Structure 1
Amino acid sequence: MLRRVAAALVVFFVAGSVVLMGAGQRAEPGNTLAIQAVPTVLDPTNPDRRDMGPLRFLAGWTLNSGDPDFGGISAIARVDDGFVAIGDAGGIFRFALDERGQISRADIGEVPAGPIPPNGGAVQKRDRDAEAMAFDPETGRFWVAFERANGLWRYDRDFTGSDANHAPDAMDDWPNNGGAEAVVRFDDGRFLVFSEAGNGPGSSREVLLFASDPSDADVGAPIRLGYHPPAEHRITDAALLPDGQLLVLNRDFSVVRGVSVIISLVDISQLDSGTILTGDEIARLVPPLTVDNMEAIAIEEVDGRTIVWIASDDNFNPLQRTLLMQFEWTGG
């Protein structure tokens, strides 16, 4: 995730950048829902721009809320006609957009169970640093991966409770701030878990392939692979396309280069031990395009079209935005 230190540096070094909230981005008068959405464009310097490689921009919003618990979105899922998003302080955000692109319902809550401090004491927000999520539409189950704890928790459809959790031995040496950053569930029950900074083969970042549910304590040892993100970037999330290829979000931030998000297309047809996955860059979000700390991606099929949703983590920083952007996949 983009650490709080980097977020603080934005205040001093990126003033005037498109990551900053623009004038007029406020909730509609009289809107009392927990979350509000304000439309935004892909390119403020060319509002008619739509194409970004094989992604065609359909719509975008800045999400706002008066609730201080809203923010830090690190993963998102399309569920029925709405969204479920998790935040890196343990928040759960449920909302839906109507045909006009306005929020029609919204709810802000907390994960009902998760990691606890290793030495006891009260649970702090840092103990619920959720960074990745997978969803199974058939069972309605969610899986959430937590950094620091280096484990996965399984929840029911309504997040009323967790019935399984496990910290796999293979994830034990992943860094506190560089652990599980993306979780992908296959229809056959396998899981891919990507580390943001854990060491993999050939200077890659480690990826684990579990043959079954990694939140179960009796899950077998995973196959160890690697992922090479684009230069200077780190993985922040990943989602499967209908053809089985993987779209991966990769993000870089520095006070010199600013914010850069690369979307890569990754072939995962070979998942043998020691394989190092690489991707082809298919799109790049950099200023003046609308961009922030993009950490969440979800894909759905609608009437034969493949829709890609991307959301950002605002780091609970008032100078950053929670963006939600909708694209159509036009690639082969």
Structure 2
Amino acid sequence: MQRAALAAIAWLLTGTASLPDPTIDHVTAEAVPLDPNDPAHVQVGSLRYLSGWVLNSRNPRFGGYSALHVKGNVFAALADTGEYLGFHMAALGAIEDVRFGRLPDYPGRTGAKSDRDSESLAVDPATGRMWVGFEQYNAIYRFAPGFAKAEASARPAAMAEWPSNEGPESLARLSDGRFITIQEGKQDAPEPHPALLFPKDPTAPDSAPIAFSYRPPENYAPTDAAQLPDGRLVVLNRHFRLSDGMWAAVTVFDPKDIKPGQTVPSTLLAEIRPPLTIDNMEGLSVTQEGGRTILWLISDDNQNGIQKTLLMKFALEEK
């Protein structure tokens, strides 16, 4: 018997008057060009636009995505509400096996959204363990694969003075087991943004970090980071202002250049501004396809009707 029929029977047995909405957990993907005025325009800086979609769902838990992890055709998007979305993309734009869920643990206990303000995500590809950075509490949690359970947590002393709503927006696990987190801060901050390099799991009590700083492009704030296959760290930066809209910038730096107390040098790879398709880009993941390095970006729509949840796919093509 089909799952839809089973669901209908179960609903009737409960005595409920109406059937469940069979589309409530669906996610649709509508393809969008990079340049609405010129579909042939696909190159921006060192990034080549491959595909992109506006994602939508009737599920009230959908949206607000601040972090992204992609492995093959499996996607995990983490919202700043402690909710997450998982799905498979069998073909470009074909979304299947949708799953909505909530993190099993988070720093606060008041019931407010700020208790579970999950902003960043890092994954160990070997074990599947997942680390989440929380603003408001400036905390990092480690979860079992699939967010099955919380295994450890920490509120690192080096992050204690970070602003409550501008904290660990970026969290990346390096291939050698070290971790980097960058404070979001303000997009017009005159000083570089504080950052930390942890020698190992940041939830370990003896994981004492090296403090350094990162300077984003002017009028930007860092929102996510991930390691490239060559070892460098790629950083997603966001500009969001009512007067001139939303922009995104992608930069790169080498962790080998990190020195205690100093600003790491970085290079601008691309800047995306209107009229190009863009929104409040906050999540970044790196994959490889046929020898090409792929950058996936996702936007935080703040769960309002004005913004969009964009999922964008770029190939990194440096000269």
| TM, length-normalised to structure 1 | 0.85
Q: Does 1:203 align with 2:191?
A: yes
Mapped partners of 2:43, 2:23: distance in 1: 32
Letter in 1 for 2:130: F
Partner Cα separation in structure 2 for residue 31 and residue 330 of structure 1:
39
Which residue of the other structure, out of 128, 138, 152, is the alignment partner of 2:140? 152
* Aligned-pair CA distance for 1:267: 2.9
Alignment match, 2:242: 255
Find the partner of 2:267 among 273, 280, 286.
280
1:167 aligns with 2:159: no
1:105 and 2:92 equivalent?
no
Deviation of 1:54 after TM superposition, in Å, equals 1.6
The corresponding residue for 2:26 is 34
Q: Deviations over 1:146-188 (max 9, x none)?
A: 0011111111112111110111111111101110010111122
SS of structure 2 residue aligned to 1:170: helix
How many Å apart are 1:32 and its aligned residue?
6.2
Q: Aligned partners of 1:126 and 1:67: how far apart in 2?
A: 21
CA apart distance, 1:298: 0.5
Structure 2 residue aligned with 1:135: 123
Q: Which residue of 1 aligns with 2:11?
A: none
Matched to 2:62, the amino acid is: F
Measure the CA separation in 2 of the matches of 1:78 and 1:100: 14
Structure 2 regions of 5+ residues with no counterpart?
1-21
- 3-state SS of paired residue (1:197): coil
**What amino acid does structure 2 have at the position aligned with 1:320?**
Q
**Does the 8 Å CA contact 2:257/2:265 hold for their aligned counterparts?**
no
Report what 2:6 is aligned to. Answer: none
User: Larger relative contact order (C-alpha < 8 A, sep ≥ 6)?
Assistant: 1
* Residues in 2 aligned to 1:209 and 1:296: alpha-carbon distance in whole angstroms: 20
Could you say which structure has the larger radius of gyration?
Answer: 2
* 1:297-316 matched pairs, under 5 angstroms: 297-316=284-303
Indicate which of 62, 85, 93 corresponds to 1:70: 62
Does 1:235 pair with 2:222? yes
What's the secondary structure of 2:184's corresponding residue?
Answer: strand
Q: Which amino acid aligns with 1:188?
A: D
Q: How much has 1:63 moved relative to structure 2?
A: 0.6
Question: What is the aligned partner in structure 1 of residue 279 from structure 2?
Answer: 292
Partner of 1:93: 85
Quote the Cα distance in structure 2 between the aligned partners of 1:271 and 1:100: 38
Task: Give me the whole-angstrom Cα distance separating, in 2, the residues matched to 1:79 and 1:33.
Answer: 22
Does the 8 Å CA contact 1:229/1:278 hold for their aligned counterparts?
Answer: no
**Matched letter for residue 87 of structure 2:** F
Report Cα offsets for 1:236-275 as digits up to 9, x if no partner: 1111111112211111122222212111122332222112
**8 Å CA contact 2:72, 2:287 repeated in 1:** no
Show the counterpart of 1:190: 178
**Aligned-partner SS, 2:147:** coil
Deviation at 1:203, TM superposition (A): 2.2
Shift of 1:60: 0.3
Name the amino acid aligned to 1:68. P
Residue aligned with 1:98, SS = strand
1: CA distance between counterparts of 2:115 and 2:78?
14
Contact 2:25/2:58 (8 A) holds in 1: no
Deviation at 1:139, TM superposition (A): 0.5
Residue pair 1:35, 1:107 contacting (<8 A) in 2 also: no
Partner of 2:145: helix, strand, or coil? coil
One-letter identity of the residue aligned with 1:89? T
CA distance in 1, matches of 2:246, 2:163: 23
C-alpha separation in 2, matches of 1:179 and 1:33: 31
Any runs of at least 4 consecutive aligned residues in structure 1 with deviations exceeding 6 A, and if so which?
Answer: none
Amino acid in structure 2 at the alignment position of 1:186: L
Q: What CA distance in whole angstroms lies between the structure 2 residues aligned with 1:172 and 1:33?
A: 38
Gaps spanning 5+ residues in structure 1: where?
1-29
Count of matched residue pairs: 295
Cα distance in structure 1, aligned partners of 2:50 and 2:66? 22
